[in-house]
Structure 1
Amino acid sequence: MRYRKLDADGDYVFGGQQADFYKDSPEAVGQAVETRLRLARGEWFLDTTEGTPWDQVLGKYTAGTYDAAIRQRILGTQGVRELAAYSSTLNSETRALSVTATINTIYGTTTVQATF
């Protein structure tokens, strides 16, 4: 698996040739998980059914459902073998959801941290 690296702002990294890519590493799968989580359902014009259903996940009375949807997206990512640990924190004041997941991949173990 080959995956282009992202910078701190979420933009593609360029200028470093092969150093701009993760190749056959747990980090490649971790970044694939993060980008899959950030893709909102209906956002990709080629397949509007693909994506995280954020409109159903985040909102009033969804505390019992968003973790299941996020776990499903993580486990459906290419290269993920197992979800070893998972935690999420919802800050209702800032309306931010923080997710931390430790995943076992076909290349090893990595931790994914994302805030939405």
Structure 2
Amino acid sequence: MEKKDFLYEGKAKKIFTTDDPSLCLIEYKNSLTAFNALKKDSIEGKGRLNNLISSDLFEFLKKKGIPTHFVERLDDLHQLVKKVTIIPIEVVVRNITTGTLCKRLGVEEGLR
């Protein structure tokens, strides 16, 4: 699948059109942010890890009969996905309370 025009860039990925108008290419980045993007850095392998984790999650959902935009993982940094209208939802999972979660819930930082 050929990467064509740039569509979007976020904190963790870039999205491109492909030669198939119904499909897009997601490219995972090695960048990381903290404190609402006030701190930025890059770490080798983060994009690959994000691609592996999200691919596994989408495959799990598929096996449970839940449709997603995911088509296939192409390589370490790229996924092929269906072109869809995005629903703006963000999910953050933490094992330790920190940042805005502490503020919203009124709890101390560092709780497990």
TM-score, normalisation: structure 1: 0.22
| Higher gyration radius (CA) | 2
With a CA cutoff of 8 Å and minimum separation of 6, indicate the structure with the bigger relative contact order.
Answer: 1
TM-score, normalisation: structure 2: 0.23
- Give the structure with the larger helix fraction: 1
